[in-house]
Structure 1
Amino acid sequence: MNIYSFDLNLLRVLDALLHERNVSRAAQRLALSQPAVSNALGRLRELLDDPLLVRVGRTMQPTPRALSLETPIRDALRQIEHTLNAGDCFDPATSRQRFVIAVTDYVELICMPPLMARLAEVAPGIRLAIRHLTPTLPAEALDNGEIDLAVGRFLDIPARFHSRCWASETLQVALRKRHPHASERLELDDFLRLRHLWVHGGQTRGMVDQWLEEQGLQREVVYTTPNYLQAAHIVASSDLAAVLPAQLAQQFAKLLPLQLFDLPFDLGSFQLDIISVAQRERDAALQWLIAQIVSVRQGGAL
C-alpha cells in the first residue's frame, strides 16, 4: 500500500470506531455525520481488504485484523498530535483547552481550590473536568487520551508513564470534640477500643489494617465509606473515629468540631504522584498545567 495515496483521516475514523464499537458514537466523537463515518468504514474495508468491524447482536465487534491495528494506529495518531503540539506556542492567557484529570476526593478537596484560583488569574479560559479515581492507575484511559493526568497514590507505575511526586502525606486520627474516650494522647489500647469509620477509596485493606494484622491486632470497623468529606461530618456528630490524611484532617478541624491525634504507631509517610503518558513530555500545555499543580502545593496554598 502506498502511504502517500492513503487518506490519513481514515485512520482517525478507524481509531474512533475501534474505541466506540458503534458508528453513531464514533460520529459524535469525531463531530461528523453518521453517513460520513459509514462511508469511511466502507473505504477502509476496501483498502484493507477486511471487514474490520462486524455486527454481533446490537454491537460491532472488531476482527482480528482490526485488533492488531488498534494499538499501533492509536500510538501513531497520538505521536503525530504531540509532535505538532510541540511546535505550538502555548499561551495560557488565551488558551481555551480542556483537561481531564482523574483524582481521589482527597486530591480534589486539597488541590483544586487553590489551582482553580490560580487558573482564574493566569488562564481563565482553561477548563478542568474531574474523573473519580480508583486505587488502580487508569492506564487505558491515559493511553487513549480520555484522561490527561492522574493524581493519587499508586503502587505500580508502568515505564510508559511519567511520574512526578506531588505530595508526601501522613495520617492522623479524628474524633469529635468531647469524645468520651479521648484524652490528651491516644495510646494503642485507646485506638483499639474505638469504633472506627474507614474511608476505603476502593481498596480492600488500608495501611492501618495491614500494620495491625502484621502485629496480630485488629480494630473494629463498623462503617465504611468511599468519601472523606462525608467521613468527617459523620465523625463530627458521632462517637466513631476515622484515620484521615493529615492535611485534610487539619482542614476539616477548622470547619467542624473535631480533635486530631497522632497515630499511636508509626506508619511513616506515603507519596502521591502526578501521572501522565511519557509521550506527552513535549506537550507544552499539559506540562504547564502540571507545573501549576506542583506550584500550588509548593507555594503553601494547601
Structure 2
Amino acid sequence: MAELRNIDLNLLVVFQHLLQERNISAVARRLDLSQPAVSNALRRLRSALGDELFVRTAQGMQPTPHAERLGGPVGEALALLSHTLDATHDFRPEESRRRFRIAMTDVGEIHFMPRLVKACSRQAPGVRIDSLRLAGTDLRREMDAGHVDLAIGAFDDLGSGFMQRMLFRQGYATLFRRGHPTAHEGMNVKAFRAERHLVVSRAAPHGQVNQSLERAGVKLDEHFSVPHFSAVPYIVSTTDLLATVPRKLADTVAAQFHLGLFAPPIRIPALQTNLYWHRRFHRDSGNQWLRALMVDTFVEEN
C-alpha cells in the first residue's frame, strides 16, 4: 500500500473526476487543465498505487476493480476535507459561486426548478443548481461522498446516516384536453375505465398510480405509455388520452397546455414529498442555506 505522504492530494482530485467522467478531455475541461497534465497525473497515480486504475476502451476510460474499490473512500475523504475547509467560512449567498446538486425526478424539476431559479436570482445570483436523476444505492453513494447535496422525493431506501423533512403531501388529478368528447368532472369508474389512457411506465415513486389503475380494471398493457411525466402534457393536449398525474404537476401544466382536470374516480394513496440530506453535512452552512430556501419556498404548500 502506498504511503499517504507519497501521494499528491491533487492527484486524488483528478482520480475522482476520472471516475465520474471516464474521459481525460472532459476532466481537463472541468479542472481547467491541459490534457497532458491530466494524463501525467494519471501516470503518477498508477506508479504510486501500483495499478492501471483506468483502461482505455470504446466506452471511455473504464476503472479497474482496484479503482472501483478506491472510489467510495476517496470520494468521501475529499468531500469531508472540502466541507471542513468551507466550514471555516460562513456561507454568504449573495457572494457565493457554489454549485449545488439536487437529486429529483422529472416531475420534481417541473415543480421545483423554476422557483428555485427565481429564488437564487434574488438571494444568491452567483449560485447554480444542477438537478440529476439518482435513486437507490447510486443516490446513497453519491450523497455519502458529498457529490449530491440534497434529494427531493420519496426515497425509503437511503438507510441510516440521512436526515429528512416533509415538504408537502399531494393527491392526483386526471388531465384531458379541452374539447375531449367524453371526459368530464364527475365521470364514474366505468366510464373512466372505458377511456384510452396514457400510462407513465417508470412512475416511481408514483407507482401507486399504475397500481390503482390496475385495481380499477384498467389494463395497462393495452394503453399508450411513456417513461416519464414530462412528455405527458404535450401528448394529452393533442389526443383524446387521459393521464393521471401528481396534482401539482396537473395544476402547473393545465393552463399552459389548455387542459382540463378532474379528481380521478379511483382511490390513489397521497404522495409525500420529502427533503433529504446527509447527516455529515447537517451543519454545513451552504447546505443549511439551501435547505432553508427549500422549506421557505415549498413547505407552506402543505
User: Deviation digits for residues 118-153 of structure 1, max 9, x if unmatched?
Assistant: 22221122122333x366574144445554333233
Give 1:297's aligned residue: 298
| Contact 2:168–2:299, Cα closer than 8 Å, also in 1 | no
Give, as a single letter, the amino acid of the residue that structure 2 aligns with 1:174: L
CA distance in 2, matches of 1:218, 1:96: 50
Correspondence 1:152-163 to 2 at 5 A = 152-163=153-164
Quote the offset at 1:106 in angstroms.
1.9
| Contact 1:135–1:202, Cα closer than 8 Å, also in 2 | no
- SS of 1:195's equivalent? coil
Task: Tell me the TM-score normalized by structure 2.
Answer: 0.81
Q: Compare CA radii of gyration and give the structure with the larger one.
A: 1
Give 1:97's aligned residue: 98
CA distance in 2, matches of 1:256, 1:291: 32
- Compared CA separation, residues 137 and 253, structure 1 to 2 (3 A): farther
- SS of 1:124's equivalent? coil
Give 2:239's aligned residue: 238
CA distance in 2, matches of 1:135, 1:65: 24
Give 1:282's aligned residue: 283
How many percent identity over aligned positions? Answer: 37
Give 2:28's aligned residue: 27
CA distance in 2, matches of 1:61, 1:243: 41
Give 1:75's aligned residue: 76
Most deviating of 285-294 and 16-25: 16-25
Most deviating of 180-189 and 80-89: 180-189
- Compared CA separation, residues 264 and 284, structure 1 to 2 (3 A): same
Give, as a single letter, the amino acid of the residue that structure 1 aligns with 2:35: Q
| Contact 2:23–2:61, Cα closer than 8 Å, also in 1 | yes
Cα RMSD over matched residues? Answer: 3.2
- SS of 1:129's equivalent? strand
- SS of 1:254's equivalent? coil
Quote the offset at 1:21 in angstroms.
4.5
Give 2:268's aligned residue: 267
| Contact 1:111–1:296, Cα closer than 8 Å, also in 2 | no
Quote the offset at 1:296 in angstroms.
1.0
CA distance in 2, matches of 1:181, 1:63: 59
Quote the offset at 1:196 in angstroms.
0.6
Structure 2, unmatched stretches of 5+, are none
Give, as a single letter, the amino acid of the residue that structure 2 aligns with 1:171: Y
Task: Tell me the TM-score normalized by structure 1.
Answer: 0.81
Structure 1, unmatched stretches of 5+, are none
